[in-house]
Amino acid sequence: MKLTIAAGVLAAAALSFTAPASASLPPPLPRPNTSFQSGSLHVDVYGTAGKPALIFIPGLLCGPWEWAGEIAQFSRKYTIYALTLPGFDGRPAIPGPLFPRVTADFWSMLDAQRIERPTVIGHSLGGTLAIVLGEQHPQRLRAIVAVDGLPVFPGMENLSAEQRQAAAQRLSAALASARNPQAFEQTEKTYVLPALMSSPGDVAAVAPLMAKSDPQAAAQWAAEDLRMDARADLSKITVPLLEIAPEGALVPYYKTLVAGDPTATVEAVGNSRHFIMYDQPQALHALIARFLERPGP
């Protein structure tokens, strides 16, 4: 079962990246200060209470562990809320449609926890969610960072809704066909992750973590992601949006996909693949830090 499941893999494959296999795993997640459930969202809290809030959203099949390096880096100056989406990292799945329910639970979390104008940082599927949140209630956010997550799945932007639906059905069926966690892990290790990160050591470490996710939930999330085209509402985003590409050659293409938001910035962390936080962690930290430290709106 050959899968290409994460946002950005189509572009990465097309450009045949050759980043060196010298990346190192991020540090393990620290122990959270506290954890809680907000509807369908599991939330781990790190950092210092009362500091400006960062909310990290992982990508498809991932948990907060993929943000471990950023959590360690930014917890000194920020209060961090690390989300786990339903169906991933051992969390129970929920019925769809997923995007409306999860975004509603996000805004309920902000109300219940009295989180004021956080910066939302998402990777892949999480980056797409961050953009959708910015379209819904931009006045409730300070800024958005999308790490190789876009308002439309790369390669789908010129297809009709019917064509995107057909592609979503094919991908969903492939993901849902995983027979057991061992087979799912082997598929990730053999076919998927080598296209998305540079280091074989990282591939070996991440595959079993991804296998903790529910293939049926992954299929549902991936299908909704491929069907989605959020470009029409990009002009509603009134806060800074930073889109981070995994290679400089992708910047012009990504600019076309976020062109509906005329204030969006597209920058690249070069010599990387889709999992930039593994391939080029220090460069990603520096880019996000510069964005966070700019004067606020």
H or E stretch at 80: strand 79-84
Q: Is the pLDDT of residue 1 over 60?
A: no
- The model's confidence at residue 179, banded by pLDDT at 50, 70 and 90, is low
Question: Which of 254, 237, 242 has the alpha carbon at shortest distance from 293?
Answer: 242
Question: Which of 6, 7, 212, 221 has the alpha carbon at shortest distance from 96?
Answer: 221
Q: Is the pLDDT of residue 2 over 50?
A: no
The rounded mean pLDDT for the chain is: 89
Residue 28: half-sphere exposure toward Cβ, Cα within 13 Å: 2
In percent, the amount of the chain with pLDDT more than 90 equals 75
State residue 144's pLDDT score: 98
Q: For the chain, what are the domain ranges?
A: 9-292
55 three-class SS:
strand
Strand order in the sheet with 241-245: 34-38, 41-47, 79-84, 53-57, 119-123, 143-147, 241-245, 265-268
State residue 24's pLDDT score: 54
State residue 9's pLDDT score: 37
CATH of domain 9-292: 3.40.50.1820
State residue 22's pLDDT score: 45
- Which pTM value belongs to this model? 0.90
State residue 167's pLDDT score: 85
- The model's confidence at residue 197, banded by pLDDT at 50, 70 and 90, is very high
Q: Is the pLDDT of residue 292 over 60?
A: yes
Q: Is the pLDDT of residue 42 over 50?
A: yes
